[in-house]
Amino acid sequence: MEIRTLAIITPFGIVFVCTGIIVNLIQAACFLIIRPVSKNLFRTINGAVAENFWLLIVWVLDWWSGFTVQLYTDKETYRLIGKEHAFLMPNHMCDTDILMMWLLAQRFCCLRSALMVVKKSSKYLPIYGWAIWFFGFVFLDRSWEKDEQKLKSSFKELEDFPRPFWLTMFVEGTRMTPDKLLDAQEFAASRGLPVPRNVLIPRTKGFVAAVKYMRSFVPAVYDITVAVPKGHAVPSLLSVCDRQPSEVKMHIKRYSMKELPESDAALAQWCRDRFVEKDAMLEKFRAEGRFGDQKIPDAGRSLKAVLVVITCSCITYFGIYKFCKMFSLLSTWKGNGILAGGLAIVVLLLHIFFEYTKLPQRALVAAETNGKKN
């Protein structure tokens, strides 16, 4: 499947890689020249530049794969979402959760300020990882001794952010797989906690730190529950690029920061209670196929993403044409070798992205075993 997908997606991959390199260069120049003078001006320019890169990914979800998202929320949350700073707390269902958050941010005009807390290894991915590093993502070692001070400084830096931002944290710490769910169930049973069936037990230290250091300037927590209806496969980067359509439903509930407890222990318990509620909500979703709150009409696929893809494609392929013509690459064996090498680099980068998002072998074995049992 991956070889076929690589062949299909490579023309777009060329655009993605070339655009990403240009974005990285602009980000690096702004980081060195503008950020020392004005942090907020750097954020404004960086957000505008990076947004075009994220829109390439939005286009893949929206237009290429036929990915659809249905939102459920109440009227008050719908009125405020996208108009205020917010801390997002979704369940971590699959490797495309980050892409889904970008799609959601695009729907509410927050794409250029959609920040996330992710694992440290992400920033070493070529092009994509460099882009999110310059953009201001928070990278964790998954060791509280190393991460505590990093989170504190990162959260406090957002206090003067120049526009409404979203900071997403997957507080489960990792995406849910059958083996990780089994571990969570055994842990819950051994501690006398509610045994989850659809989510993992949250790691509350990061959540507590986020609320503690941002509650003075972030007015709300958005508790987001993501579910896939029956008959639809859980999406992955590979399936999205292979044009396998999928549907996801999201329930969004807004909590005012003022409503949250003050003490660390009470905040941790509040977070765990929300995941118990998520679990019950997902269990009910399995039976009914929908969430209880009001369904929000879809704003439609992004036309801006189409415009960005067309523009970037024209610039990329016109640039390649002029480069080939300038150095007569198509008329010599050496020139053909250079072009073949460039194409091989693009294919290799796409392969790296696919491999990075795949489940570990242990999780794949557990999933296969679980499927046989079912």
Give tens-digit pLDDT for 232-263.
888 999 999 999 888 999 999 999 999 999 99
Rounded to the nearest integer, the mean pLDDT of the chain is 91
pTM, entire model: 0.90
pLDDT at 59 over 90: yes
Gyration radius of the chain's alpha carbons: 22
In the numeric block, the tokens 């508790």 are attached to 223
pLDDT (0 to 100) of residue 368 = 40
**Whole-number Å distance between alpha carbons of 272 and 187:** 14
pLDDT at 366 over 60: no
Return contacts of 341-348, CB within 8 angstroms, 24+ apart: 343/10, 343/14, 345/17, 346/10, 346/13, 346/14, 346/17, 347/6, 347/10, 347/13
Q: What is the mean pLDDT of residues 78-94?
A: 94
pLDDT (0 to 100) of residue 362 = 41
Q: Judging by DSSP bridges, how do beta strands 114-119 and 138-140 pair with one another?
A: parallel
What's the number of CA atoms in the CB half-sphere (13 Å) around residue 329?
16
Q: Give residue-wise pLDDT tens across range 180-201.
A: 999 999 999 999 899 999 999 9
Element (H, E) at 55: helix 39-59
Q: Give residue-wise pLDDT tens across range 279-288.
A: 999 999 988 8
Q: Give residue-wise pLDDT tens across range 129-154.
A: 999 999 999 999 878 888 989 999 99
pLDDT (0 to 100) of residue 296 = 86
Q: Give residue-wise pLDDT tens across range 200-234.
A: 999 999 999 999 999 999 999 999 999 999 888 88
Asked if 166 contacts 98 with a C-beta cutoff of 8 angstroms, the reply is: no
**Whole-number Å distance between alpha carbons of 118 and 199:** 18
Structure tokens at 109: 């005009």
pLDDT (0 to 100) of residue 360 = 52
Give residues with Cβ within 8 angstroms of 256, minimum separation 6: 219, 220
pLDDT (0 to 100) of residue 348 = 95
Q: Which domains does the chain have, with CATH numbers?
A: 3-303 (3.40.1130)
Q: What is the mean pLDDT of residues 323-348?
A: 93
Query: Which residue has better confidence, 66 or 313?
Result: 313
pLDDT (0 to 100) of residue 359 = 58
